[in-house]
Copies of this chain bind each other. A is one copy, B any other.
């Protein structure tokens, strides 16, 4: 799942069930996934810092740009727990970047949406994000990048049905 994995594979333990060639490549892919995750997260933090947000706040605000949603709905959509989203949503409200509206359909599940300040922050971030993805993606072959996306989608599917 990380460097441990490769150490384990190449290392001092008995190889009871050997890895296939594809398994070896996937192990490398997994390690790169962890590195990329860290790198993208760091890039997000660099982008959000001047705007006064964090990557997590950006994510939550972004989920609700087009229409208000209750916290639990955001969590469902982002595959996070209610509790994680709730914490951030409350923070965003306390910072004036979002607000709760009464929900006619549910007395407890208030609707969550950005304020004008929230929209403005996300709008500024969109520009930074576009510049970033344009800049980075220019350094790889477009067709190969498409293949990468396809493979990653298949891996996500495979993981989900693997349980």
Contacts and interface: CB of A to CB of B under 8 A. Distances in A.
A160 B37 CA distance: 12
B19 A134 contact: yes
Interface in A32-49: 32-44, 46-47
B158 A136 contact: yes
B156 A13 contact: no
Given A136-B159, A140-B158, A1 B58 contact: yes
A73 interface: no
A13 B129 CA distance: 13
A135 B13 CA distance: 21
Given A136-B162, A155-B140, A145 B33 contact: no
Interface stretch (A22-30, A89-97, A104-112): A22-30
A18 to B, nearest CB: 7
